[in-house]
Amino acid sequence: MKPSVSDRPIWDVWLAAFHAPTLAIADELGVFTALAATPATADELATTLQVESRATESMLGLLAALGFLARSGAAFELNEVARTYLLPASEYYWGGFLRRIRTIPIDCDRLVEALRRGRAAQDARVSGTLWRAPQPPAEALVGFTHAMHSHSFALARRVVTSFGLTPGSRFLDVAGGSGSYSIAAALDVEGLHATVLDLPAVCDVTRAYAEKHGVADRVTAMAGDMFGDAPWPSGATDLFFSDIFHDWDDERCAQLARRAFEALAPGGRILVHEMTLDETKDGPLNAIAYSMVMVFVTEGRQRTVAELFALLRGAGFADPEVATTAEGYRLISARK
């Protein structure tokens, strides 16, 4: 009997597994830097990079199909997406994140074993073994912070305008990493002052990025553990979390929300920037896929707007609101 349905979804999933590695390998080989200098055919680029022509032809073809390269006759050239995000000289270069794809591949066997032992959350690669380590290795923290900066800075520059910040805002960026959102806010709103609270090794990276973008006088880094005993800076008008709640279980998120309530000035706002799920939790595709990423690397998950509202109300916040920003993200806000 012939099959009653197509197996196209399985084909799509299998072949998509090669998209990210191809992009990461092209970055490592210098494909984009070479094509920025001059368009080239597959054979010409293979000669320049000293890579076999067969592989170069397939790699360039896939990169073009994915929307990173354009064709000019037989030659390939960069498009605007590649020029913006895939050249090392760009302030929005995704190289740090692509490096993690190359050096830390997805380990299905490890996850299966952890799930069967009921240890997936405790053994998670990021929240389980990096942030919760007694003495997190500085080198690992620094590498992770640079990767997350390439992941978030372009998005931050695009969306902070919609956050309702003012020149008088005192912006506290909890576990803000490189300070990508704080820097974007300072660049967008003259007079705004931001504090990034993060681990000591991360703060060194924050200061370097703030200096690079000319806002070191208004973006400061404060060493601290958001789950530690030391109090957070008080008096913030806007207290911000981006891609933080999705790293942790509900108990930890509730703890963060309570500490945010304590740290905010009266009338201040909590701002939670996350990729949110539909109420049915089977979409949008990128959001539920991101939730699966969290299963691989943290003890958390993506949440629905209603779940985030409930977490904030449970900590004492009132009048929660939601606004769509970009790339599937939403800004959840509430008042103290």
CATH of residue 71:
1.10.10.10
Q: 0.85 cut: is pTM over it?
A: yes
Q: Assess if residue 208 is contained within a domain.
A: yes
Q: Is 199 domain-assigned?
A: yes
Strands (E), the chain: 69-72, 75-78, 170-174, 193-198, 219-223, 236-242, 264-275, 318-324, 329-335
Residue 3 lies inside a defined structural domain of this protein: no
Q: How far apart are CA 140 and CA 103, in angstroms?
A: 12
CA distance 243 to 180: 12
Pairing type for strands 69-72 and 75-78 reads: antiparallel
Question: What is the spatial distance between Cα 135 and Cα 130, in angstroms, rounded to a whole number?
Answer: 9
183 and 161 in one domain?
yes
211 and 116 co-located in one domain: yes
Instruction: Tell me which DSSP letter residue 130 carries.
Output: I
pLDDT for residue 79: 98
In a domain, 63, yes or no: yes
Note the pLDDT of residue 133.
66
2 part of a folded domain: no
pLDDT (tens digit, 0 to 9) for every residue of the chain, 336 residues total? 999 999 999 999 999 999 999 999 999 999 999 999 999 999 999 999 999 999 999 999 999 999 999 999 999 999 999 999 999 999 999 999 999 999 998 899 989 998 999 988 888 888 877 777 676 788 989 999 999 999 999 999 999 999 999 999 999 999 999 999 999 999 999 999 999 999 999 999 999 999 999 999 999 999 999 999 999 999 999 999 999 999 999 999 999 999 999 999 999 999 999 999 999 999 999 999 999 999 999 999 999 999 999 999 999 999 999 999 999 999 999 999
Residue 41: give the domain boundaries. Answer: 8-101
One domain for residues 167 and 22? no
Task: Provide the residue count of the chain.
Answer: 336
Report the relative pairing of strands 193-198 and 69-72 from DSSP bridges: unpaired
- Residues 59, 141 within the same domain: no
Same domain (yes/no): 35, 84 = yes
Say whether both 226 and 324 belong to one domain. yes
Q: How far is CA 93 from CA 12, 73, 211, 286, in A?
A: 28, 27, 18, 21
| Same-domain status, 113 and 72 | no
- Read off φ and ψ for residue 259, nearest 5 degrees: -65, -35
**Boundary (domain end) residue, out of 84, 101, 118:** 101
Q: Write the CB contacts of 94 (distance below 8 Å, at least 6 apart in sequence).
A: 27, 85, 86, 150, 151
Domain match, 170 and 315 both: yes
- Give the CATH number for residue 268: 3.40.50.150
Quick one: DSSP state of residue 40?
B
Query: Does 208 lie in the same domain as 91?
Result: no
User: Residue 185: helix, strand or coil by DSSP?
Assistant: helix
Whether 209 and 299 share a structural domain: yes
Is residue 292 a part of any domain in this protein?
Answer: yes
SS3 of 271, please? strand
Domain final residue pick, 101, 131, 166: 101
d(CA 42, CA 8): 29
Q: Which of 101, 131, 153 is the last residue of a domain?
A: 101
> Is residue 115 assigned to a domain?
yes
Contacts of 262 (CB under 8 A, 6+ apart): 231, 232, 234
Give the pairing of strands 236-242 and 264-275: parallel
Structure confidence at residue 122 (pLDDT)? 86
CB atoms within 10 A of CB 147: 21
Q: Do residues 218 and 194 lie in contact, with contact meaning Cβ atoms separated by under 8 Å?
A: yes
The answer to whether residue 1 sits within a structural domain is: no
Number of domains in the chain: 2
User: What pLDDT does 121 receive?
Assistant: 87
| Pair (61, 114) in one structural domain | no
Q: For residues 292 and 203, state if they share a domain.
A: yes
